[in-house]
Structure 1
């Protein structure tokens, strides 16, 4: 199918600096750094423009989302399509292809933690008949890097690579509790969306909860992200005392109380976290 190209009114306009074209890449590259490959930065920004809510996008929509000129977006999509990472059915709306998963797989397969953790998560999940996961902190989200699912208890289909806002999750809070140095900046960026009536409503309450998590060494989130879902998490510590990941178990609220989470699940999670800490170092 011949590729339809949209009007490239912006073709001759100066493109954004690498910092503005990084689209979700944390702090982004340093503007003006001659060693930065701008075309690669733009290509990654185009990939990151796609999401659950924007799984099909036009060149104009991607350009608006990333700040990259339409002509450059078109070239990025042409390249991604030629390599099998993207496609279009009508020449206008683009989608990512399954091959894009190979980029994430390369990262996940290089992390010893994921290979070590998966059998352990399955053991926990089988023993409790509940879902168990491991996540890391990336920007203001947690990213799932390993998961054993016993049953689906959320309307969101969680899997390896899924992202959730860190401040509203048990794993996110135990990770944030061990990063007190940048907590003020993180809290300033929080949009307090009322997912449920239980969702924490302001920065002061959230700060108090994270401080409590730091003191007790675990976090329980009780139906804040979704009604009916309770979860408990503990940090996985490195030898230098930093928390590089977190492990949790999620349950339906009708099956376990918060007290049950502490008495029945917390010891298992602490043992698993200690094993993983020893293996990873």
Structure 2
């Protein structure tokens, strides 16, 4: 139920909009207008106006009857993380990961159709493109992108693949929707993704998910290495255990910090 305004500066419409967003959960990821109204404690007419506004802004999608959140709502959480200095929170674990693997590592979140870098610990320069916090790359040819895409509901993944116009960035880049779906579903099953020179020749990368307290993938952590120093097999056997450990540590730190 929504609360009553306590001061003349209280914006009840904003409160109700946020309450509608919070009404969606792992137990109720999609709801009808009536279900949302009942959950929040508002009239169906008010729920309809809020949901249509959120849909217009890109935070909600609808199949004509049921509504669900889109990945854009994650941007609200990342705005909060920025105020907490996400680099400071994840930094010690990333520094340790980089020291153990002697390679660069990064964290990114999803802002379809791209990933956005939110933290990075570089070593040697292994990419021709300069990357830093705020940098964007297409999701489909990156290990972090595939991990993040693996966390999408099936209908949202289908919508993304249907709209995607993938370009062959190298001769190795997967561009067909069936091939990309298969590798994303493999990442979902395996709990990690490995990309071998699909974004840039000479670059290999492996990524693992970072979860919130409900088990939803909210970010991805990767290790990048030059092909001359690594093989896909060595990334799996020598890097992946440290990567998963660091991702788990960051997940725990976020949960304890109350960020998500």
What range is the shorter-chain TM-score in? 0.5 to 0.7
CA deviation after TM superposition for structure 1 residue 139, in Å: 2.2
Q: Is residue 134–residue 147 contact of structure 1 (8 Å, CA) maintained in 2?
A: yes
Partner of 2:168: 194
Query: C-alpha offsets along residues 176-235 of structure 1, whole Å, 9 cap, x if unaligned?
Result: 101133001110121121110000020000001111111111000000010000000000
With the length of structure 2 as denominator, give the TM-score of the two structures: 0.66
Structure with higher RCO (Cα < 8 A, 6+ apart)? 2
CA deviation after TM superposition for structure 1 residue 108, in Å: 5.9
Distance in 2 between the 1:161 and 1:260 partners? 30
Q: Does residue 1:203 correspond to 2:177, yes or no?
A: yes
Q: 2:192 aligns with which of 202, 218, 222?
A: 218
Structure 1: gaps of 5 or more residues: 1-25, 31-104
Q: 1:121 aligns with which of 94, 119, 122?
A: 94
Larger helix share, 1 or 2:
2
Change (3 A) 1:238 1:227: same
Distance in 2 between the 1:270 and 1:159 partners? 22
Q: 1:149 aligns with which of 92, 104, 122?
A: 122
Structure 2: gaps of 5 or more residues: 1-53, 59-77, 256-260
Distance in 2 between the 1:158 and 1:189 partners? 26
Q: Is residue 114–residue 145 contact of structure 1 (8 Å, CA) maintained in 2?
A: yes
Distance in 1 between the 2:55 and 2:132 partners? 26
CA deviation after TM superposition for structure 1 residue 27, in Å: 6.6
Q: Does residue 1:230 correspond to 2:204, yes or no?
A: yes
Q: Is residue 109–residue 115 contact of structure 1 (8 Å, CA) maintained in 2?
A: no
CA RMSD of aligned residues (A): 2.0
Q: Does residue 1:135 correspond to 2:163, yes or no?
A: no
With the length of structure 1 as denominator, give the TM-score of the two structures: 0.61
Task: Give the alignment of 1:24-173 within 5 angstroms.
Answer: 29=57, 109-111=82-84, 113-173=86-146
Paired residues in the alignment total 182
Query: C-alpha offsets along residues 101-152 of structure 1, whole Å, 9 cap, x if unaligned?
Result: xxxx986631454321112212222222210000111121110000000011
Q: Specify the structure having the higher radius of gyration (Cα).
A: 1
Q: 2:152 aligns with which of 167, 176, 179?
A: 179
Distance in 2 between the 1:130 and 1:114 partners? 18
